[in-house]
Structure 1
Amino acid sequence: MTVKVVALIKSKDAISRDEFLNFWQVEHPAFVWEMPGVVQYVQSPAIEHRKGWPYSGMAELYFDTVADVATAFRSPAADALREHEHHFIEDIQWFLASETPVPQPVPVEK
């Protein structure tokens, strides 16, 4: 079973959206990929909207096992990752999840 870390991210108020996205999308991936066991990394930045969203974006880090998650976040690479996050993340809430594909229902003929 693949497991993923789902992280809900709030950017620092003191930086612009462009600065946040540069830190997150340009600089930060190198830190993520240095952690052992990461098999996929997906970023989902919130779309700009007149309404202020509660989060600036979501990140998903995929691993083969929960043990791999623990190993990655105990590694020296995770220390460097967390240090980098201090530059652009105000708050981060996360949880571990698995995925359950949900098929589209077959239409019932009437």
Structure 2
Amino acid sequence: MMKLTVLYPHPTDPAQFDAYYRETHTPLVHKIPGLVRFEDAHVVATPDGSPPPYFLIAELYFDNMESFQAGMASPEGQATAADVPNFASNGATLMICDITS
């Protein structure tokens, strides 16, 4: 199983980020072909008590690399990726992970 992890740093306007993310971006994510699971979470703390480096983490799951690549290359996947600059004022870090357990 493959997982795309998206790490969003703290936005300039958290309320605006959340509203756009929930109302516009998340519905786009759910349209990506081959997506089998989607989770997102606000980061609330770190183990050492330091400020969290990220505001929100999103995880998109696909059965395998082929379905991940096809989903992200699809018009829906491209629209989702192109939408990120519309709300993520400080960008995002993406990591493609092969789940091993």
TM-score normalised over the length of structure 2:
0.81
1:26 is matched with: 23
Aligned partners of 2:38 and 2:92: how far apart in 1? 16
1:108 is matched with: none
1:35 is matched with: 32
Deviation string, structure 1 residues 44-89 (Cα, Å, up to 9, x no partner): 11228x9642211110001000111111111111221123211111
TM-fit CA distance, 1:23: 1.5
Aligned partners of 2:85 and 2:7: how far apart in 1? 15
Unaligned runs of 5+ in 1: 101-110
1:106 is matched with: none
- Structure of larger gyration radius: 1
Give the direction of change, closer, same or farther, for the CA distance of 1:27–1:12 in structure 2 (3 Å limit).
Answer: same
The reply to whether residue 4 of structure 1 matches residue 6 of structure 2 is no
Aligned partners of 1:5 and 1:44: how far apart in 2? 14
Aligned partner of residue 91 in structure 1, secondary structure: coil
CA contact (8 A) 1:43 1:58 kept: yes
Paired residues, what number?
A: 97
Aligned Cα root-mean-square deviation (Å)? 2.2
Aligned partner of residue 39 in structure 1, secondary structure: strand
User: Structure 1 stretches (4+) deviating beyond 6 angstroms?
Assistant: none
Aligned partner of residue 58 in structure 2, secondary structure: strand
Unaligned runs of 5+ in 2: none
Q: Identity, % of aligned pairs?
A: 21
Aligned partners of 1:27 and 1:55: how far apart in 2? 20
